[in-house]
Amino acid sequence: ADHPIETPPRAPSPVHRFGTLAVHAGSPHDPTTGAVIEPISLSTTFAQTAVGKPVGQYEYSRSSNPNRENFEKAVAALEHAKHALAFASGSATTAIILQSLAAGSHVISVSDVYGGTHRKGARCQSYVYARDRVDISEHITPETKLVWIETPSNPTLRLVDIRAVASQAHEHGIMVVVDNTFLSPYIQNPLDHGADIVVHSVTKYINGHSDVVMGVAAFNSDAMKERLGFLQNAIGAIPSAFDSWLAHRGLKTMHLRVREATTNATAVAKALEGSPHVIAVNYPGLGSHPHRAIALRQHRNGMGGGMLSFRIKGGHAAAERFCQTTSLFTLAESLGGIESLIEVPSSMTHAGIPKEQREAVGVFDDLVRVSCGIEDAEDLKADVLQALEKAVVASK
Ligand SMILES: C=C(NCc1c(COP(=O)(O)O)cnc(C)c1O)C(=O)O
């Protein structure tokens, strides 16, 4: 047809279920061509018909871009948020949220967080690591503005009762940020439990194909949108149009991938728990997990997600040997992709945290972190068990 489409398709409404929102939210058909999948808008600048009068709503890609906006709308819909803003990485998202605080603000963080997040706070006097995962009261000061939660935590898979921490924090006018990277919006929606901001390393489950580095924050506050939106443009740590397009495409199948990864992680965790070569398994989907009750309250159907970690007998040497003996699990940093990955946090993702601080939160030298992909569960189980046998028997 050579005429513009009269009636663009109805946008999905919030009453739709997750899978429908994942496929349709932030995905208008192109009003001119009718393209069902949005084109990639690579132009960094947009023509103006007169001074200060752009043709459409866009002027310059750092300030806003069609692909980034559509991705942000999709994330907001899936996190039950009014707003979402995308950044160049999960680390950039964390940094910009911290930058949005007034100078001299104090931050309370749970102590077992991703190494990159930990290092941002470790050098700031205005940061305290709370071992206790619910009662933050002893750490609150008149300058405290933010509580940073990672649940499940990277790499020990501890959980935090978001609602309990949020009710304490809000009594003191303190905001709560939850890093929801390990579960994705499919399994957990922190804003529904009282959090003020939810953040993701999009690099992980949301994009889900280990080919994009990106971050995103979602929230309801208009004032926060103005503040973080200003910093998004002023600092310019933004994702490219192509990365936004890729991440939006990945998001559309996230629920299918996360379901499959959870099935696989559950099977691998049970196999590890039954092995004589394993000291302990950290997986919120197991009945043995110390915070299982929180998972049943906060996670969709009590799902454990695709991430787990375990302590292998034989120390760091056995952990290293294990990671060099698997054939399906690739030894590499990162997580949440379609391929299964393993790593030794004490020497890799959390190496920057001093040993005594690492071990105080359970990141021992014999800890192996596992990101289960969407391969076949039986193949993954067999790979883990054969590597365990070889790694531990060889260390005797
Ligand atoms: C790269 C890894 N983590 C990144 C990460 C980040 C940082 O995201 P980046 O997109 O890698 O900058 C934030 N939050 C959590 C919970 C994370 O796990 C890793 O643990 O292998």
Residue 179 is a catalytic residue:
yes
Contact assessment for residue 82 and residue 191, using Cβ atoms and an 8 Å cutoff: no
Residue 379 is a catalytic residue:
no
348 Cβ closer than 6 Å to some ligand 1 atom: no
Model confidence at 125, in pLDDT bands (50, 70, 90)? low
What tokens appear for 34 in the block? 């009718």
Length of the chain equals 396
- Asked if this assembly's ipTM is beyond 0.95, the reply is yes
Taking every pair of C-alpha atoms in the chain, what is the biggest distance, in angstroms? Answer: 77
pLDDT in tens, 156-165: 999 999 999 9
Write down the pLDDT at residue 118: 84
What tokens appear for 266 in the block? 């559950």
91 Cβ closer than 6 Å to some ligand 1 atom: yes
User: How far apart are the C-alpha atoms of 143 and 107, rounded to whole Å?
Assistant: 8
Write down the pLDDT at residue 123: 72
The tokens 């503040």 sit on which residue? Answer: 227
Catalytically annotated residue among 73, 120, 158, 204:
204
Write down the pLDDT at residue 11: 60
The tokens 């600092």 sit on which residue? Answer: 235
User: How far apart are the C-alpha atoms of 300 and 101, rounded to whole Å?
Assistant: 32
Residue 366 is a catalytic residue:
no
Residue 257 is a catalytic residue:
no
How much distance in Å is there from the Cα of 13 to the middle of ligand 1?
31
User: How far apart are the C-alpha atoms of 42 and 55, rounded to whole Å?
Assistant: 16
More confident residue, 53 or 116: 53
In angstroms, what is the C-alpha Rg of the chain? 22
The residue whose C-alpha atom lies closest to atom 21 belonging to ligand 1 is 334
Average pLDDT over residues 152-180: 96
* Strand order across the 127-130 sheet: 83-87, 215-219, 197-201, 175-179, 144-150, 106-110, 127-130
Write down the pLDDT at residue 395: 64
